[in-house]
Amino acid sequence: MSKITDKNKIKIKIIKNGPYCVFGSVPLTEKIITPVGKHYEYRDGRKLPQKEVYSLCRCGKSKTPPFCDGYHDQIDFDGRETASKLKYATRADLLAGEKIDLMDDHRCAFLRFCHTEKGKTWDLIERSDKLEERKLAIKSAEECLAGRLTAVSKEGRKLEKEFKPAVEILQDPEKEVSSAIIVKGKIKVEGADGKTYEPRNTLALCRCGESDNKPFCDCSHVHTGFKE
Ligand code: FES
């Protein structure tokens, strides 16, 4: 796997009606959303080539997924970005729990890691005075790689680990679909208009081409049965 040499070179540039160009030797892996009992785990998928610069398909029609092969030109892909560039803290609701709180910006990628053996993250927050529930609430919020949920202390401190820069291609065999592109480690995502989205610890980009909240995933891949 290639090494990250210069943090300043790391960036994702969205090409107008085209792919995501990833710069800076960002490690690229495939992960499989795997049901285990009543919870989920990310398991390693196939090995993907490591490159200094690579382009990931955004239209969902490439014949060489997850990479762009130029097919977006043939289908006149409409990749218009419609998502808000406001910061997470502005967009998210704050839900008060017993011992810890939960931020929720409602950007769901249907990854389902908010489902745990002991209930959903929102319910666990309400019972977060109990140690096991609190731990599970923090874990499940952190594993929501869409970046939708963030567990926070009563003082407002984020209760999540900081991810290293990485790009992960998700597969969701349980739903028989291919899922989002996960971007970890506060990588800057620059829109086609040259303006950037807030760098996040983790976020989910659309790669089926159908999201109503481009460039972010809105679980359209599940509704349209997207399979790369
Ligand atoms: S974005 Fe280029 S083929 Fe899909």
Residue 228: inside a domain: no
| 99, 61: one domain | no
On whether both 28 and 95 belong to a single domain, the answer is no
Domain boundary among 102, 127, 152: 152
Residue 94 lies in a domain: yes
Residue 197 lies in a domain: yes
Regarding whether 216 and 168 lie in a shared domain, the answer is: yes
User: What spacing in Å lies between the alpha carbon of 44 and ligand 1's midpoint?
Assistant: 24
Establish if 79 belongs to a structural domain. Answer: yes
User: Where is the domain boundary, 123, 152, 181?
Assistant: 152
Q: How many CA atoms lie within 13 A of 67 on its CB side?
A: 11
The residue type at 38: K
CA of 214 from ligand 1 middle (Å) equals: 14
How far is ligand 1, taken at its centre, from the CA of residue 24, in Å?
20
Q: Are residues 217 and 174 in the same domain?
A: yes
Measured by CA distance, the residue closest to atom 2 of ligand 1 is: 68
Higher pLDDT, 2 or 12: 12
For the cut 60, the answer to whether the pLDDT of residue 4 exceeds it is: no
Tens of pLDDT along 161-190?
A: 999 999 999 999 999 999 999 999 999 999
Cβ(185)–Cβ(165) under 8 Å?
Answer: yes
Host domain of residue 116: 88-152
Q: Is the residue at 14 inside a domain?
A: yes
- Three-state SS at 18: coil
> Does 13 lie in the same domain as 80?
yes
206 lines ligand 1 (CB under 6 A): no
Closest atom of ligand 1 to 62 CA is 3
Tell whether 11 and 80 lie within a shared domain.
Answer: yes
97 in the same domain as 80: no
How remote is the CA of residue 13 from the centroid of ligand 1, in Å? 14
For ligand 1, mutation pick of 13, 56, 63, 68 (most atoms within 8 Å of CB): 68
Q: Are strands 177-184 and 166-172 parallel, antiparallel or unpaired?
A: antiparallel
Q: What percent of the chain has pLDDT over 90?
A: 93
| Same-domain check for residues 80 and 173 | yes
Residue 212 falls within a domain, yes or no?
Answer: yes
pLDDT over 50 at 130, yes or no? yes
210 Cα to the center of ligand 1, angstroms: 13
- Average pLDDT of the residues in 65-82: 97
Q: Which residue has the higher pLDDT, 63 or 39?
A: 63
Q: Provide the β-strand partners of residue 44.
A: 31
Q: How confident is the model over 73-102, as a mean pLDDT?
A: 96
Question: Does residue 79 sit in the same domain as residue 171?
Answer: yes
Is the per-residue pLDDT at 77 higher than 80? yes
Shared-domain flag, residues 70 and 33 = yes
Judgement on whether residues 80 and 94 belong to the same structural domain of the protein: no
Q: Is the CB of 67 under 6 A from ligand 1?
A: no
pLDDT band at 37, cuts 50/70/90? confident
**pLDDT at residue 2 is higher than 50:** no
- Give, for 125, the enclosing helix (H) or strand (E): helix 121-126
- Taking alpha carbons only, the member of 61, 54, 29, 12 closest to residue 210 is 61
Note the pTM of the prediction, 2 decimals.
0.94
What average pLDDT does the segment 43-71 reach?
97
pLDDT beyond 90 at 5: no
Residue 1 lies in a domain: no
**What integer best gives the mean pLDDT of the chain?**
95
Domain boundary among 112, 127, 152: 152
Query: Residue 6 has what pLDDT?
Result: 64
Closest alpha carbon to 220 in 20, 76, 82: 82
Instruction: Determine whether the shortest distance from the Cβ of 219 to ligand 1 is under 6 A.
Output: no
How many domains, in total, are found in the chain? Answer: 2
CA distance 202 to 214: 16
- The answer to whether residues 76 and 173 belong to one domain is yes
The answer to whether residue 158 sits within a structural domain is no
In sequence order, which residues have a C-beta less than 8 Å from that of residue 65 and are 6 or more positions away?
A: 57, 178, 207, 228
3-state secondary structure of 74: helix
